[in-house]
Structure 1
Amino acid sequence: MKLSLASKPILIVEDNPVIRKSIRDMLYSLNADTIIEADNGVAAINAMAKTTFEIVLCDYNLGPGKNGQQVLEEARHRKLIDYRSIFILISSEQSTSAVLGAMDSKPDEYLTKPFNAQQLISRLSRHFARRDYLGGIEKAMAKGDLAQAIRRCDALLERGDVKMRLHLLKMRAELAIAAGDFESARRIYLEVLQHRDLPWARLGLGIIDLQNNNIEQAIAGFQSLVAENPMLMEGYDWLTRAYEALDRHQEVEQVLQQALELSPQSILRQKKFAETADKNGNLEAAEKAYKAALKLGKHSVHRSCSDYAGLAKLYAKTNAGEEALKTLNEMRQEYANQPEAELRAATLEADLFRAQGDDEAAQQALDKALDLCGRLGSKAPRELQLEVARSCFLNQQHDKAEAILHGLIQNHIDDEQFLNNLRAMQSGVGMHNYSEIQIQKTRQALIATNNKGVALYKQGKFKEALDLFEQAIATMPENKTIILNMLKIIIHDLKANPSDADKERRARLLLKKARQLGVEQHKLGVLQMEFGKLHRPAAAKA
């Protein structure tokens, strides 16, 4: 049966009008009747913001401005495309670095110029067949309904479709990891590896080892994987995470360097490398990476004022004060009227002016930073709040530093890595163990609150338990442990009272907040599974 594109909204993104016409003619030959064209990345994003396209054909090189990879990243970040869409990245680039850079963003399909109508038809047909077959699973995944996604995946596996079995097993293992069911995922990966040595199965085993805190075993697995599959960029990313878990920052830098030599167009890896090299004292490499991140970020959705601030702080370390101030001025121009950028600039200026002996200017900058920090509140990144507190210590304003740290400790008492960063900051300004008493008191208070809340719940006093956790959230709105425990109680209560709309609404909000705060998926997945089951009394028959 001939492929028909009738009634399917299609977007062509190509800066060359001749090539645009050639692609358009190919699509018309397939009965396409809804085609929109864009000749640059910004126009493409604007088009996707107005229309949900089923097919996006996007060239990689689009002239000045965004490239095709950046268009895809922004479209995904802003949820302008979903599981029903096919995004085909087109490129004439043949170099390893260009291809890896393009594939890093994981387009649905990749086409190399020149291509003909039959090649395009083959890609589209393959995608539509896959979408029709797996659409039910991907729809449930898009909604965050892990229970439904797993049920649908299991149902397809039971059909015994040999051609799709490996793909389904890969999806099923990834769903198991997301749900925190590591044993099921491990069984699947080991079953696959008994028959074929597939990199994705080995990667999955390493991820499970890392999540189970078998970090050395995970490192060994990832090292072996990238040695045998040097183009598998995900392997480098997971190896980096494993080394980070052991605070082995020199190895983190080395692995990131290897990855960037292969795929230098990754802005997120450039950022990570800059920060790590900076931390390790490799300032020359850090400066180069910060500049690369700034260049890559010019048209990227991942651009951030923190990249300018990082470079400025590096200049400050090398006593290049004028370069630091120049970089901050560039940041202000690039991020005009953005409070976070102004806060970063004012905080660093306080340190720079103090180092130059201009105490009055330093105090003015610090006062400005404190005002901005107070207005931004929890919207200010926590590492930036630490910088403000550090500046307060350096300027002998310990009470103001303590006020900032009080909120940070309350919200992040269950994040040992962050607490270590806080301790390192204090040691760096000669305030060793300054907050240790507060850390211990906060930790004890958190344990007491959790124990009391769980005890109330076990006694059947659901309202009292919820009231207790609501009070705790009021004082610790970003504390992951409190949020997770409150979620557990609400979901368990909903099992007995499934028609309680207020509790259901509260659970949804807490799940959303937990995702925003970066709660590990394997911890959140179990609760997502339980919550998903509440709304499907007949789901077992589906």
Structure 2
Amino acid sequence: MQDYANRSANLGANLAANLSVLVVDPNPGMRTSLQNMLNQAGIGKVEYAVNAGTAIKQLGKRAYDVILCEYDLGGPAGDGQDGQQLLEDLRHHRLITASTIFIMLTSEGVYDKVVSAAELTPTDYVLKPFTTEMLGGRIKRALERRTALLPVWQLAAQGKQFDAIRACTTAAIASPRYALDFLRLKAELHVSVGEHGDAAAIYRKVLAERPLGWAGLGLARTMLAQGQVEEARATLEQLVQANPRLMAAYDLLARCHEQLGATADAQKVLEEAVSISPHMVRRLRKLGEVALENGDAEAAEKSFRQVVTKARYSEFRNPEDHVNLVRALVTRGDVAQASGVIRDLERSLRGSANADACKAYSSALLHDRMGNTSAAIAELANAAGAARAGSGLSSNLRIGLAQACLAHRMDEQASNVMLSVAHDVASPVTVDQAMNVFVRAGRPDLADGMGQQLRAQAQILLGVADEKRNMGDVRGAVQTLLEALHIAPGNLQVIVAVAGGILRQVHELGWDHALGEVASEQIERLRAMDPGHPRLTALIAELQQAKRKYGISG
């Protein structure tokens, strides 16, 4: 415990002496004022960004200890992202870490903006005008908390989650002022390694003492992760009633409704959340998607129009937002506005394969609505070709594109698009779900053909993995095996190879929780599919030996 306290104190002293600050503010007078305040507080390493785009470029090159960000970044003309939208991008794209101190500065007292910024958990939210002492005090308190938590964050960043969990217990004793922070962090670490029951026990312990919103939300997340969807829904409904501004609870509640098949209820929950906090782009996008699924084209159009408008100045604009807006407009029969959206997409996002695919797909939707079948077929061919060349397109868009191709008997293009979905390891769509797209379209022959191709490709990947392993590239071999597993999840040969390859890597390079979970799952799958398999007993023994070696419970 004393070692931890000493280490934290040393870290705090070193960081205070070398604190780096990024000021994000379009106003030169305010930048100068903040520079003077920071200098008076003993902070000399100050850099500037005049807007969100500049800030993202700078954060892509280096990290800062503190970010002081003006909320109203767009200035009087409103021609740019605001601070809330910037923070949303930084969190989502992981350009800042848990240890980054982010302080929002604003004179805006508008309720919905304050809620929208606060739900993204900036470290602090400071209303203008403020004094040097006030700003310095806020930074000092944030730095003290960061110093206490930093050793645990560093262990987690190094992939040492179990060490980080143990460190939380020690650190809470050394720094009782932050005991709740360490409990919360410990629960999140348990979740990160799949120990949802341990996390739930912590959340329940906290809730037994104090009805804290984050603990209720965390408990609901563990329930959902364990398949207890009804229990999670009930917990979240009570949580929202007691904490109507806990915005993440609405998002999770909507997901519960979706999993229970109640998409109308999901839409209602998201609409309520948007009415409270109307500036979160990703929630607006989700509301649009659910509304489209429910056939509510009017609500979908309203949401996607806001998404396109709010994301206009983001460095991470997504051309799929334009596609979804076109879908809503075409469904409503508004071809004139749909044409305008397509022109905007072409003008503002040209130059990437993804944008080309989205533009061609949107044009095909419009031509279909107008009865121009030959033009629609030509644009679908363009979209399918661009989708194969691009990367990062969502599975939902590619599935929609494949379905449109199937509707026009464009079998080859549909198969190629769905193969790209099947090969995407990051996709939430399984191979069975991908092939079911063909089955639902009345084309089981295409599903069979796709299955044959994937099985043949999996065999090739097994050979590539063998070559990598023979060359000493154990990690590379495992990654290739995981690709084979993704495209052929029910193949016994692949299952055995994946489990064995992971255990070999663990033996040579150390325990990796995520891979260990995959190995356990594949061994259990092998047991279910072929309990007499000659490799099963040996694989079970290897896994148990690895867990004992690295002190892994279970």
Name the TM-score, length of structure 1 as normaliser.
0.79
Name the structure 2 match of 1:297.
311
Gap change, CA 1:353 and 1:83, over 3 Å in 2: closer
Of residues 74-83 and 218-227 in structure 1, the stretch that sits farther from structure 2 once superposed is 74-83
Gap change, CA 1:181 and 1:7, over 3 Å in 2: closer
What are the equivalent positions in structure 2 for 1:39-438 lying under 5 Å apart?
A: 39-62=50-73, 63=75, 64-77=79-92, 79-157=94-172, 159=173, 161-376=175-390, 379-405=392-418, 408=421, 423=436, 427=440, 431-432=441-442, 434=444, 438=448
Gap change, CA 1:323 and 1:417, over 3 Å in 2: farther
Of residues 475-484 and 160-169 in structure 1, the stretch that sits farther from structure 2 once superposed is 475-484
Q: 1:509, 1:188 → 2: CA distance? A: 22
Of residues 54-63 and 392-401 in structure 1, the stretch that sits farther from structure 2 once superposed is 392-401
Q: 2:139, 2:25 → 1: CA distance? A: 18
Report if aligned partners of 2:161, 2:193 keep a CA contact under 8 Å in 1. Answer: yes
Gap change, CA 1:51 and 1:92, over 3 Å in 2: same
SS in 2 for 1:497: helix
Q: Which amino acid aligns with 1:323?
A: Q
SS in 2 for 1:36: strand
Residue 217 of structure 1: how far off its partner (Å): 0.7
Report if aligned partners of 1:73, 1:301 keep a CA contact under 8 Å in 2. Answer: no
Report if aligned partners of 1:389, 1:401 keep a CA contact under 8 Å in 2. Answer: yes
Residue 312 of structure 1: how far off its partner (Å): 0.8
Gap change, CA 1:467 and 1:226, over 3 Å in 2: closer
Gap change, CA 1:194 and 1:384, over 3 Å in 2: closer
Q: 1:344, 1:102 → 2: CA distance? A: 31
Gap change, CA 1:20 and 1:175, over 3 Å in 2: same
Q: 1:162, 1:262 → 2: CA distance? A: 35
SS in 1 for 2:402: helix
Q: 2:260, 2:315 → 1: CA distance? A: 31
Name the structure 2 match of 1:19.
30
Report if aligned partners of 2:148, 2:175 keep a CA contact under 8 Å in 1. Answer: no
Q: Percent identity?
A: 26
Residue 396 of structure 1: how far off its partner (Å): 2.1
Q: 2:423, 2:504 → 1: CA distance? A: 27
Q: Which amino acid aligns with 1:180?
A: G
Q: 2:488, 2:158 → 1: CA distance? A: 25
- Equivalent pairs, count: 497
Gap change, CA 1:388 and 1:186, over 3 Å in 2: closer
Report if aligned partners of 1:240, 1:252 keep a CA contact under 8 Å in 2. Answer: yes
Task: Give the root-mean-square deviation of aligned CA atoms.
Answer: 4.3
Gap change, CA 1:134 and 1:302, over 3 Å in 2: same
Residue 205 of structure 1: how far off its partner (Å): 1.6
Name the TM-score, length of structure 2 as normaliser.
0.77
Q: 1:50, 1:414 → 2: CA distance? A: 28
Report if aligned partners of 1:6, 1:33 keep a CA contact under 8 Å in 2. Answer: no
Report if aligned partners of 1:346, 1:366 keep a CA contact under 8 Å in 2. Answer: yes
Report if aligned partners of 1:414, 1:480 keep a CA contact under 8 Å in 2. Answer: no
Q: 2:476, 2:142 → 1: CA distance? A: 50
Report if aligned partners of 2:320, 2:397 keep a CA contact under 8 Å in 1. Answer: no
Q: 2:165, 2:350 → 1: CA distance? A: 46
Residue 84 of structure 1: how far off its partner (Å): 4.2
Report if aligned partners of 2:103, 2:122 keep a CA contact under 8 Å in 1. Answer: yes
SS in 1 for 2:81: coil
Q: Which amino acid aligns with 1:212?
A: Q
Gap change, CA 1:288 and 1:355, over 3 Å in 2: closer
SS in 1 for 2:250: helix
Residue 471 of structure 1: how far off its partner (Å): 7.7
Query: Structure 2: which 5+ runs fail to align?
Result: 1-8, 463-471, 520-541
Report if aligned partners of 2:81, 2:310 keep a CA contact under 8 Å in 1. Answer: no
Gap change, CA 1:56 and 1:249, over 3 Å in 2: same
Q: 1:471, 1:139 → 2: CA distance? A: 29
Residue 200 of structure 1: how far off its partner (Å): 1.7
* 1:385-437 Cα shifts (integer Å, max 9, x gaps): 2223222222222344245435645768996789668757875xxx3474796
Q: Which amino acid aligns with 2:158?
A: K
Report if aligned partners of 1:12, 1:35 keep a CA contact under 8 Å in 2. Answer: yes
Gap change, CA 1:370 and 1:196, over 3 Å in 2: closer
* 1:458-502 Cα shifts (integer Å, max 9, x gaps): xxxxx9x99998886565656789999866544422444349xxx
Q: 2:107, 2:475 → 1: CA distance? A: 59
Q: 2:39, 2:282 → 1: CA distance? A: 39
Residue 191 of structure 1: how far off its partner (Å): 1.8
Q: 1:229, 1:79 → 2: CA distance? A: 27
Name the structure 2 match of 1:520.
none
* 1:328-347 Cα shifts (integer Å, max 9, x gaps): 12111111111112112223
The reply to whether residue 33 of structure 1 matches residue 33 of structure 2 is no
Report if aligned partners of 1:199, 1:225 keep a CA contact under 8 Å in 2. Answer: yes
